[in-house]
Structure 1
């Protein structure tokens, strides 16, 4: 985990904005792997948010990805194959859900600055944020069914953001959504040229940082008041079952082997 001053110890980098120290940047910093989310990412992000929430200087957070190609390509599929029994699979799903909830429930406003691919868990992380700014080159997708799984958080939140039918299209067919479409369906609130994204995110975060922090925290809590956290248990249970199916094993093996999967519905 990196500190607020940018000392590096993992692929999640935490820095204060040089132009406005009230704004903190959380950067997924593994561009060679398209900022894929490894097993450490989930607790690291929760810890980073908790530290920022405890720091009176921080009034707004921007989450982004390093490099020009990706916000995040999503979960590290190779690490899925390392999950052993159902207990390990369930613990992993719970870990992911706790992190999405930490973003949703943070008293700080959290902006996703999506540069390039936001796939799988990357798209879900954007859904967990309060506002999504996308570059013109951004692409969103939830293609987990291609490896025999479903987006456990996205399947709960996307319907209220983009509607049930768009959720089904993205989930069942792995439909990729470009920036213009994301703006039209509500997956993104603003779209900017790639070379302006960071400045635009900073400007919006600074505006949010200038608002009364207790009012922002209360407003966020009230907007999210209808959210049913009990759904997490149902999603976790369903994903644990899917993780244990032959189709999931085949999907993961096919992905790692760079071949088309053969699913048998078992």
Structure 2
């Protein structure tokens, strides 16, 4: 693995997004790595709960590695990438294991979306959430589907259209996180919560999670993938990515 570190201690598996030099940006290998790690833990009868966090003290994840987006050649490659991301978010949502996000800093873009896919979100008092993809000519493909039911349509629009960043206390108030803890205590609290979940009857937890998520519409993934594939192919997306890499303001033209 090159973008994810896995540590299993008793009944709890810890997944660490491990690219602190890039604020734990999610590289192209991250998505299948996370699915594979989940699948391995699901097959291990000892593992009863998963905690996901970011390496270092600054970030849970700054989101997708935007520089790598420029490497996506044609529409087929862009569509395959979107499908890969969606399969990973679905794997987290559909896993019979409870998955806790321990957000230890910035959770931007795909990092915020991963938190949305998890079952419970614990935020350190230094956490910041955002979905700023419109700044590079895109939208959060998974977030645009899930955030409205979690934080409401208007907060979703504010975060998506204006790049509004949400601190930990606000995240709890709007439902994006369930609890705020001091940064120094985050992992201990996440571990305690994971152990409480791990002590519950695993079939009851899996069934309960499935029932709570029963009304989630998977067919929306296809619509989101198609829309993101189109956006990835626009002039504005190419300009946004180039501007991000070049560390300059983008010049969007609406085409």
TM superposition score normalised by structure 2: 0.99
Whole-angstrom CA distance in 1 between matches of 2:135 and 2:172: 25
Partner of 2:46: 57
Task: Give SS of 1:16's match.
Answer: strand
- How many residue pairs match? The answer is 255
Task: Pick from 183, 189, 203 the counterpart of residue 214 of structure 1.
Answer: 203
Q: Which residue of 2 aligns with 1:107?
A: 96
- Please point out which of 186, 191, 203 is paired with 2:192: 203
Q: Which residue is 1:12 aligned to?
A: 4
CA RMSD of aligned residues (A): 0.4
Is the aligned partner of 1:150 residue 2:118?
no
1:69 equivalent in structure 2: 58
Give the Å deviation of 1:29: 1.1
Match of 2:20 in 1: 31
Query: If the length of structure 1 is used for normalisation, what is the TM-score?
Result: 0.95
**1:11 CA drift (Å):** 2.5
Structure 1 CA distance, aligned partners of 2:18 and 2:159? 26
- Of residues 118, 130, 133, the one that matches 1:141 is 130
SS at match of 2:11: strand
Give structure 1 regions of 4+ aligned residues with deviation exceeding 2 angstroms. Answer: none
Q: Which position in structure 2 is the counterpart of 1:132?
A: 121
Unaligned runs of 5+ in 2: none
Unaligned 5+ segments in structure 1 are 2-9
Partners in 2 of 1:11 and 1:185 — Cα distance?
Answer: 30
